[in-house]
Structure 1
């Protein structure tokens, strides 16, 4: 038993299992969204307008449409086209594209913030476009966009609570299941909020530490 409550330690373990699912979806979504965001951001920052504008317009759709609607639509398309993807795969892909839509603009703004003279100097030294991007532009842009990327990642972790609508038992859904049995929503939601905090706080502190370290350098 948990204090004077009917909440048991098995219920706590059930919540922790949901937290693991939340972390797994977050890691997969942020990884996919970051990779796509870097690629799309470089395109948006350096490509011709007839490439950059259509890409930006497509990503604007994912930034503008509520994530819940996107999840429901992705899940419906999965059934319509008989893709037979699991809800977990659908959640990771949908959240990954959603993350990429925001990450793209972070990368684009970071790349454009690198002084053009610095980039021209790198090219004048004989660097290829790829060498200049990898060795000069991306490291400088990373320092600029990293705090915002941390905030985006933390937001994605909280947005994973919406995947319960496509049948995934993550942390929030786990708390709802326990609440329906125990009927102590205040206690359960308090514990759930504490778990979210314990998952988010180390990421926020790590981001702040790296930001201070880079400023010193």
Structure 2
């Protein structure tokens, strides 16, 4: 396989990475709102939020992408394919990240919150200094894992006309009759990206509030 073909794969991987990172960031922002709604205890917020989470966790991502891609023009919203893809990925990952965050906040020991109240902490201080650090610490590995899953799932956006890494490897394989080296190279690129994200996640986890220093010997 020539260097030119590999360069085309790397260029397409830029689309894969860009779409994934934007979707992960947008999904996390939406997940925070969804999590807050689920923890509010008010049916007005919890019922529609749980329906949203159930839908986007229960329906295959491929179907979600096709639905969004065709629904937006139907209701008069014309957007580029890349925008439709980002919307689909963002909504999907938001549902999973919201559940991860909810589990983290619900795992905070009530005794810690009560101790903060007795110490005179305000609700804001309790959230920022007690609940948020512990919830992030508990859910961070799951959030990183979800980010990696979304990056790999971004291969499905080819169904809405985006030539990302997987689609590029398919197109090149059909025109050059070199499927094995092309798909192997695409797999290698995915592996490098996911491995890098995992390393960044581990590096960041050690620097979270309350994180244990490396080599401390404490159990995790």
Deviation at 1:51, TM superposition (A): 2.6
Number of the residue aligned with 1:128: 122
Greater CA drift, 37-46 or 91-100: 37-46
Number of the residue aligned with 2:9: 15
Helix, strand or coil for the counterpart of 1:84? Answer: coil
Greater CA drift, 11-20 or 131-140: 131-140
Deviation at 1:53, TM superposition (A): 3.3
Q: Distance in 2 between matches of 1:146 and 1:35?
A: 15
The alignment's TM-score, normalised by the length of structure 1, stands at: 0.91
Deviation at 1:210, TM superposition (A): 4.1
Q: Distance in 2 between matches of 1:42 and 1:78?
A: 27
1:37 pairs, out of 31, 38, 46, with 31
- Which segments of 5 or more consecutive residues in structure 2 lack a partner in the other structure? none
Greater CA drift, 30-39 or 128-137: 128-137
Q: Distance in 2 between matches of 1:54 and 1:84?
A: 26
Contact 1:175–1:188 (Cα < 8 Å) also in 2: yes
Helix, strand or coil for the counterpart of 1:215? Answer: coil
Q: Distance in 2 between matches of 1:145 and 1:19?
A: 28
The alignment's TM-score, normalised by the length of structure 2, stands at: 0.89
Pair 1:215 & 2:219 matched: no
Deviation at 1:12, TM superposition (A): 1.4
How large is the Cα RMSD of the aligned pairs? Answer: 1.7
How many pairs were matched up? Answer: 211
Q: Distance in 2 between matches of 1:135 and 1:79?
A: 45
Q: 1:58-77 residue pairs with structure 2 within 5 A?
A: 58-77=52-71
Q: 1:130-149 residue pairs with structure 2 within 5 A?
A: 130-149=124-143
1:102 pairs, out of 96, 100, 108, with 96
- Which segments of 5 or more consecutive residues in structure 1 lack a partner in the other structure? 1-6
Q: 1:169-184 residue pairs with structure 2 within 5 A?
A: 169-184=163-178
Contact 1:42–1:111 (Cα < 8 Å) also in 2: no
